[in-house]
Amino acid sequence: MGISYTDLSEEYPNDVRPLLDRDVINESMLNEDQRLWRRDGVLVKQQFLPEKVVDDYVAFRRKVVLDGGWKDPCPYLRHDELKDIALYSPLVEKMDELIGQPMGLHLTLTGWVSTQRRFHSDDYLNPDFVHSHYIAVWIALEDIDPASGPFQFVRGSHKWPPLRREKLFEQIPEAQAQRPDWPSTTENIVAVACEEEIVRRGQAVETFLGKKGDVLFWHGRLIHQGSYPTVPGTPRRALIAHYSSLNHRPDMGVRTTYAKTGKPYFYFSNWESSEHDEGVIETAQQDGVLGRLSALFK
Ligand SMILES: O=C(O)CCC(=O)C(=O)O
Ligand SMILES: [Fe+2]
């Protein structure tokens, strides 16, 4: 027997969960999106982002030559073009409404290919005390090609006992748990346990084939993955952004507000330097070859 989902998970107390996840609430007070969120742990809003917000970001993003995007987690610190979309007011306000807390941006994944990160939930990747006062969004920047390795998820899996880091650490050598790369070296253990649990519960895996401007919001406890592309190399033009409640991240001390939209983000001095852009950003004007390459994306 391998390591099971039960080995890796444990429910946490009702009173530390976000309001909409508590056992007993007054459901008649909820709006439709909150009701769906409580039930499914995932919410899709079609054409949520205005075309201009998407087009402006895409025009800027095309300057990034590599489909993998920026290598660091916080390019938004250096580029207002990322803040314009990831801190677009109605987007953040929707999250505030779902978690019941003011949400701040702390991670953007800018690659235009699938992350190929196998099944997991995001909550156990964060410190315990966050207790899923956490949300991530998957913004389709174009109509998503089914061959590109789309986002997949298990509706309602946010109600399963959540994956816990300390439970995982009980299963692996201490030396491995102490290394900062434990999320990637344990990816397969977690994925196999999740896949077996999906089968055991007889649950369907759903695929998000967003159209341009659509947004999928997902719960920190939702089981999801970036699937493998069936046609490797197929672009998947999306922006993924992660947010935590300002009131649940004592580990991320510095917060600031994006003046243009009035929405908060977490600040990390180590990602501020423009050296993180070196070798990533090349403008079409600077280099004819790269210019021709980016023209291919049009
Ligand atoms: O590549 C994807 O669609 C999923 C990425 C993911 O798991 C995450 O951002 O938490
Ligand atoms: Fe994830």
Taking only the tens place, the pLDDT of each residue in 195-220 is 999 999 999 999 999 999 999 999 99
- Residue bearing the CA closest to ligand 1, atom 10: 122
Q: What is the reported pTM?
A: 0.94
The C-alpha angle 18, 21, 25, rounded to 5 degrees, equals: 105
Q: Report CA-CA distances (Å) from 55 to 30, 49, 59, 111, 226.
A: 33, 10, 6, 16, 24
Q: What is the reported pLDDT for 218?
A: 98
By most ligand atoms within 8 Å of CB, the mutation choice from 109, 121, 157, 227 for ligand 1 is 109
Provide the token pair at 97. Answer: 């409404």
pLDDT for 287 beyond 80:
no
Cβ(248)–Cβ(126) below 8 Å: no
Q: What is the reported pLDDT for 269?
A: 92
Question: Which residue type, as a one-letter code, is found at position 298?
Answer: K
Distance 28 CA to ligand 2 centre (A): 31
226 forms beta bridges with 151
Taking only the tens place, the pLDDT of each residue in 117-174 is 999 999 999 999 999 999 999 999 999 999 999 999 999 999 999 999 999 999 999 9
Cβ(108)–Cβ(262) below 8 Å: no
Ligand 1: lining residues by beta carbon, under 6 Å: 109, 114-115, 117, 122, 136, 151, 224, 226, 240
85 membership: H or E segment, kind and range = helix 80-86
Cβ(162)–Cβ(132) below 8 Å: yes
Q: What share of the chain is helix, strand, coil (3-state, %, to 5)?
A: 40, 20, 45
pLDDT for 291 beyond 80:
no
215 forms beta bridges with 45, 139
Distance 117 CA to ligand 1 centre (A): 6
Q: What is the reported pLDDT for 280?
A: 78
Distance 194 CA to ligand 2 centre (A): 13
Residue 224 CA: nearest ligand 1 atom is: 7
Cβ(158)–Cβ(41) below 8 Å: yes
3-state class (DSSP) for residue 199: helix
Q: What is the reported pLDDT for 64?
A: 79
Sort 233 into a burial class: Cβ within 10 Å, 0-12 / 13-18 / 19+.
Answer: exposed
3-state class (DSSP) for residue 165: helix
In whole angstroms, what is the distance from residue 56 CA to residue 148 CA?
A: 23
Going from the N-terminus, what domains does the chain have, and what CATH number goes with each?
5-12+42-296 (2.60.120.620)
For 13, list phi and psi in degrees, rounded to 5: -60, 145
Distance 120 CA to ligand 2 centre (A): 6
Centre a 10 Å sphere on the Cβ of residue 20 and count the other Cβ atoms it contains: 19
- Residue bearing the CA closest to ligand 1, atom 5: 226
Residue 240 CA: nearest ligand 1 atom is: 9
For 135, list phi and psi in degrees, rounded to 5: -155, 145
Distance 281 CA to ligand 1 centre (A): 23
3-state class (DSSP) for residue 126: coil
Q: What is the reported pLDDT for 296?
A: 41
Query: Which residues are close to ligand 2, an ion, with C-beta < 5 A?
Result: 122
Residue 238 CA: nearest ligand 1 atom is: 3
Distance 121 CA to ligand 2 centre (A): 6
Give the residue carrying structure tokens 């490797």: 232
Cβ(80)–Cβ(31) below 8 Å: no
Taking only the tens place, the pLDDT of each residue in 63-83 is 876 778 898 999 999 999 999
Ligand nearest to the CA of 138: 1
Q: Pairing mode, if any, of strands 151-153 and 224-226?
A: antiparallel
